[in-house]
Amino acid sequence: MNRHRVSQLIGVVRRKFGDDRGTTVAAALAYYLLLALFPMVLFLVGAASFVLDRDEVKQEVLDGINQVLPIETGGESDIDGAVDGVIDSRGSIALFGVLGLLWSASSFFGALRTSLNDAWGVTQTRPFPAQKAMDIAGVLAIGLLFVLSIVATFMLQLLRSTSDMLPLVGEATGPLWAIVAILLPMAFSFAAFTVVYMYVPNTHVELKHAMAGAIVPALLFEATKFGFSFYLSQFGNYEATYGAFGALIAFLFWAYLTGIYIMVGAQIAAEYPRVERGEYDQIEALRPPGPLTRLRAAYRRLARKSGEQRPSPAEEPLETPPRIPANEKPG
């Protein structure tokens, strides 16, 4: 895609995001994510507690949440208590309880599917059983990515501890591990957004278009995680301002930003093939110029006018010395 197409894509995405009320949709996604988050977490805990050690499950879940969500000590204790409750009652929850949590957690993907269908302009919907199956598959996919993230983190820690025991190798690979620690979470975020854009909308989306849409939200998502972590470690104490609702307010704000990133990426993935095919060329030719375009045109006219009024060096008359009469000698 050339420079003109990229500029055109940015303009189209900006207009479509406003036309589709992107910020309102992001607020709705934040609300549904709040409703689905704890059932999703408890589902993962309940399922994993049948095959893994209690303390191991709890620690991995808490570490995973802390890496993604902006949570202070008070929020961690609340989640810790909820996780303990699920593990303690896993005998009574059994299979039906896990399925119930899975059903509740899928509500977010239902809202996400509706929002992405609007971004692609899709009006045809799947039958309800197929839609619910896709929503549940989304929860399972998130769980799979969570497990892969845990495995990858464990393998990296093992490799790093092994390399640190070797004097020369440990010193040489120090910067490498810092780079990997940044790129690995970004790779998982990029993969998650790509899968969402490919399979959640009720339409066929090519891989390259889904990947193009996933780049921006993955970068912004990781930058937001880093920003929240830095804020909480250096300045943050939102519980002092909001009291018991501090963790909730911080989570909703984080979820709202994430919803905006999701919708921006969806607009990029949806409009990329249309811009590539030139569907907006004729529309842009008929659209009245914006204020910035008019300002540039006025500047060009002013520069052209001033250039026409000032003669060029080739056109300026040469000054000739005064003629001296033949009977006079120069003084």
Domain membership of residue 116 (yes or no) is: yes
User: For residue 315, is it within any domain?
Assistant: no
Cβ-proximal residues to 83 (8 Å cutoff; 6+ apart), any chain: 41, 42, 45, 57, 58, 61, 62
- H/E element holding 188? helix 174-199
Domain count, the chain: 1
Distance spanning both ends of the chain, measured CA to CA: 75
Q: How many residues are listed for the chain in this entry?
A: 331
286 has pLDDT over 60: no
Q: What gap in Å lies between CA 201 and CA 209, rounded to an integer?
A: 13
Could you tell me the two tokens for 268?
Answer: 């990029």
Q: Is residue 220 part of a domain?
A: yes
Yes or no: say if 163 and 173 are a contact pair by the CB < 8 Å rule. yes
Q: For 76-80, 194-198, 267-271, 276-280, which range has the lowest pLDDT when averaged over its residues?
A: 76-80
The pLDDT tens digits of the residues spanning 34-74 come to: 887 777 766 666 666 665 565 666 666 666 666 555 555 55
User: In this structure, is residue 310 part of a structural domain?
Assistant: no
* pLDDT at 328 (0 to 100): 55
The pLDDT score that the predictor gives to residue 199 is 86
| Residue 19 scores a pLDDT above 60 | yes
Here the tokens at position 50 are 């049948």
Q: Which residue has the higher pLDDT, 265 or 2?
A: 265
User: Exposed, middle or buried, 107 (CB in 10 Å: 0-12/13-18/19+)?
Assistant: middle
Percent of the chain with pLDDT over 90: 16
Q: How far is CA 175 from CA 106, 167, 179, 181, in A?
A: 40, 15, 6, 10
Domain that holds residue 259: 23-273
- Please, what is the angle between helix 128-164 and helix 54-68, to 10°? 100
Mean pLDDT of all residues in 202-217:
92
DSSP secondary-structure letter at 329? -
Q: Is residue 159 part of a domain?
A: yes
> How crowded is residue 10: how many other Cβ atoms within 10 Å of its Cβ?
13
* Assigned domain for 115 exists: yes
Residue 303 lies in a domain: no
CA atoms of 72 and 232, how far apart (whole Å) = 8
Residue 176 lies in a domain: yes
pLDDT in the model for residue 136: 82
Q: CA nearest 300: which of 288, 290, 292, 311?
A: 292
Q: Around Cβ 47, how many Cβ atoms within 10 Å? A: 19
pLDDT band, very low/low/confident/very high, at 135 (cuts 50, 70, 90): confident
